[in-house]
Amino acid sequence: MTEGTELHLPNLEELELLPTLPIAFHCKLSRDLDIPGKSLIEVVNFRTPIDTGSFQRGRGLDVRSGRFTAPRTAIYQLSANLHIGQRLSDVKSRELKPRDNVRILICINSMCQRHTSLEFVSGMESNSRVFTVAVSGLLQIEEGQYASVYIDNSSGRRIEIQVGSDYSGVLMGV
């Protein structure tokens, strides 16, 4: 540096600190989904709303099937929040058993037992007609494999996944 020359250091606003996310999505359930008692069902019929805050970057998400097919082998952060409604008539008529619960899973290639999956279990003893179950975590998904959300209703009661429940994912790294 020569005399009289100032050293210019960039301020934080001039630095690009945040990476661009090539693959990321946030979608919501487009309509209520009825879940019979004693059933394991893949959650389908999502939509990418036009609301502020929603997004779909890159390829891989089929909103109708609810399946995210990995465009490349990587580690992905996936999460789902399901709003569960219980019919008032079922709540009054059927006594809950200690084993009655709802499991939410995010599985690879629909093989919840053979591959690692994300899982959260919630008892149904909530005194509310509506409660939320959520699951979140990291999975390594190989190129061409898909991840999707499942609900396992072990109770004898019919439940309903309510519109507005959401599913999201982001590529974290390779």
pLDDT in tens, 76-121: 999 999 999 987 655 555 566 767 899 999 999 999 888 789 999 9
Structural domain that includes position 158: 20-173
How far is residue 71 from each of residues 4, 31, 74, 108, 145, measured CA to CA in Å? 53, 27, 9, 14, 9
pLDDT of residue 4: 61
Residue 14 lies in a domain: no
Query: Is residue 146 one of the residues assigned to a domain?
Result: yes
CB atoms near residue 51 (< 10 Å) = 8
- Residue 63 counted as domain residue: yes
Domain tally, the chain? 1
Q: Classify residue 158: in a domain, yes or no.
A: yes
pTM (predicted TM-score): 0.83
Q: What is the pLDDT of residue 17?
A: 67
Residue 3 lies in a domain: no
* CATH number for the domain harbouring residue 93: 2.60.120.40
